[in-house]
Structure 1
């Protein structure tokens, strides 16, 4: 059977015809996204299964690059090949001459002209960016300067606030929500990341953070206790003073920006937990073992602190809930250098036995399983047992470790 016939058999369902027609139009006009109507449940189901996310309501916006990636992953063919097999060849619009002549050299000055998202971004700016012709060159320059400072292809290791990033190009408020520059920069970031353009405040914040930009320098915090800061500067003295007062410290990106380049001595052992209850108990008992609390999924401030401590040579030990969000939080901390601590299958089994002995009610384990690469048996055991164990229920052995030193 010819490849074209195989594509028609696999993807020619009536429920998908609207998708292919809209995708063909988007390809022919070089649009990065398109609006798709979802008239019934059958269409929503078929499109959702293909695209990789549930579909709701009567319509949705589809990313051309994401649809192409889904097809490549599942069927080994790209969107253009599918559309050609189902609807005939696609006449793709050529880039506007002015984009090639005027704006690509602007991006080339910043080393961005060869990026896969560059030409679609320039087309989008002309067609949908609401940028006046006289302003295009200037905003392309400004956008390129911002984009070169962002993590567009690799996960970020540090975060810069929007205000600080805008300040680098001399306009402190130019990346505030609603500005033309923030709009075009976020569009480029969405294209580079292969995600849909953000449509609300939450999605905009997530995209900024995904690219190494904190929406501000003060709202994201990380809760710490007894950090063994090694400097003799005023910042380090301030952290030590809070410890002497029996007070934890909430650190923001602004705090971390003001901190000395080196925070702790090589080999410092630091506990990382998910819930504030463990840190609170350590404070109440007067345990001076350093603790960092993630408070759920690590904030950008927490991730930056973990990254800096690991670079200093600290040894981080992370513990979290035995549930899927807790495993995800531990995985994130592990990517920043932390070692799982009392997070093995045996530790989970011991906690289950203790709960049964104490007649403690355990919540059901819900959500999609998350792998536990440090101990693959843990994820299997959690899935089979289907019970979650909160960090607070393992408090005693964790505190004992803090008393004795990790």
Structure 2
């Protein structure tokens, strides 16, 4: 039944009232935000909000995407949309405030018309952030009228290539210069300080529900969330002994470094110049989280291929791993036994081609017990647990033991597997 009483019985709960109040504020705002921040003060609230939103909640707060919340409600048992639900719960309709420009007569000036037309051409005009962004450009974007048509066209072309859904991870990467050259005809048009960069980053921040970037680090982080690396050379991925299939100069250069006992730090420009395919189907490649693991393999003269994530995988690492997966490689993944390590492993495990390597609850128990016997210090494991979809028991075991196991602690085990091949290595 979708009558008001049955809906109130299901959704009018103390734990959800904060969610409904914040959702109403978002829907009634003059420029409806795409997301809003929601506090999660206790486990009961996290559980109930997670059930509504369709994913587990962790920590003391989260960012809620308004469109996704609406979709989750529509797909639920009662099939009610967000506006109708709030009207029933609060017993009053949604009343959207008018922005200053609309109160002054709702005029559609040239700026709004040009921007809307450019967004429409790329299928972006109905995105949740589009109206607010258009108003911002009109009022604060500082776009000269003589530049408006070109800026609108170039900005829409750039935005159409960005990842603007905060719940989606980039699957491919642009360098900022590539993107500028493709969409604006000049590799310099998205450099810091340009008009195009300013308006594009504002749209990206609105789409992701973040503040406008205030410095270089914030700009880099926002670009990367959108699938863009700020340049093609500063970010690298360390590799060792990649068994490249090509007989070209690029492949020969990488192989020569292996013969010299040197790892290779590949950049995005390197990957753009690399041949297809990189490796033969079925090639088994070790993927580690710590540079110490790759360094140990080099020092030991182990010729098994290794790719290092250097903590959290950056843009170039993800690009390389996607290329290897597309070639049919098998990626044996090992990360630290801490919550960051499980988060990294979990995100990669969702992609086909990744197989855990010594990442089970049994592996963790064995290592902790061995460390205790040898009186090896293990860092205290704190913060909130992270799921491990390849072994659901693992987070519980780690929480119980309360100790983190970094890759350096198990170097001997990892090197043993690399020497003997990972085809039969334990998972």
Q: Which interval holds the TM-score relative to the shorter structure?
A: 0.7 to 0.9
The match for 1:90 among 74, 79, 95 is 95
CA contact (8 A) 2:36 2:65 kept: no
- Matching residue of 1:40: none
Stretches of structure 2 lacking an aligned partner (at least 5 in a row): 50-56, 74-79, 423-427
Q: Between 299-308 and 172-181, report the one with greater CA deviation.
A: 172-181
- Matching residue of 2:54: none
Count how many residue pairs are aligned between Structure 1 and Structure 2. 387
Offset at residue 185 of structure 1 (A): 1.0
CA contact (8 A) 1:139 1:181 kept: yes
Matched, 1:119 2:120: no
Offset at residue 117 of structure 1 (A): 2.8
CA contact (8 A) 1:225 1:290 kept: yes
CA contact (8 A) 1:66 1:195 kept: no
Q: Structure 1's 197 and 70: CA in aligned 2 closer, same or farther, altered over 3 A? A: farther
CA contact (8 A) 1:310 1:316 kept: yes
CA contact (8 A) 2:34 2:208 kept: no
Q: Between 260-269 and 333-342, report the one with greater CA deviation.
A: 333-342
Offset at residue 166 of structure 1 (A): 0.7
- Matching residue of 1:59: none
- Matching residue of 1:176: 191
CA contact (8 A) 1:52 1:70 kept: no
CA contact (8 A) 1:226 1:243 kept: yes
The match for 2:178 among 164, 182, 185 is 164
Q: Structure 1's 158 and 89: CA in aligned 2 closer, same or farther, altered over 3 A? A: closer
Q: Structure 1's 111 and 12: CA in aligned 2 closer, same or farther, altered over 3 A? A: closer
The CA deviation string for residues 220-245 of structure 1, in whole angstroms up to 9 with x for no partner, is 11111001111011110000000000
The CA deviation string for residues 284-321 of structure 1, in whole angstroms up to 9 with x for no partner, is 11111001111111111111111100100011101111
What is the 5 A alignment of 1:323-338? 323-336=338-351, 337-338=353-354
- Matching residue of 2:161: 149
Q: CA RMSD in A?
A: 3.8
Matched, 1:235 2:239: no
Q: Distance in 2 between matches of 1:269 and 1:8?
A: 51
What is the 5 A alignment of 1:350-389? 350-389=366-405
Q: Structure 1's 32 and 180: CA in aligned 2 closer, same or farther, altered over 3 A? A: farther
The CA deviation string for residues 5-25 of structure 1, in whole angstroms up to 9 with x for no partner, is 997988999xx99x899x48x
Q: Distance in 2 between matches of 1:273 and 1:8?
A: 45
TM-score (norm 1): 0.82
Q: Tell me, what secondary structure is at the counterpart of 1:362?
A: coil
Offset at residue 183 of structure 1 (A): 1.6
Matched, 1:286 2:298: no
CA contact (8 A) 1:224 1:290 kept: yes
Matched, 1:104 2:119: no
Matched, 1:203 2:208: no
- Matching residue of 1:345: 361
Q: Distance in 2 between matches of 1:334 and 1:401?
A: 20
TM-score (norm 2): 0.78
Stretches of structure 1 lacking an aligned partner (at least 5 in a row): 37-42, 56-61
Q: Distance in 1 between matches of 2:370 and 2:346?
A: 25
- Matching residue of 1:392: 408
Offset at residue 155 of structure 1 (A): 2.5
Q: Tell me, what secondary structure is at the counterpart of 1:97?
A: coil
- Matching residue of 2:52: none
The CA deviation string for residues 237-261 of structure 1, in whole angstroms up to 9 with x for no partner, is 0000000000001111111111112
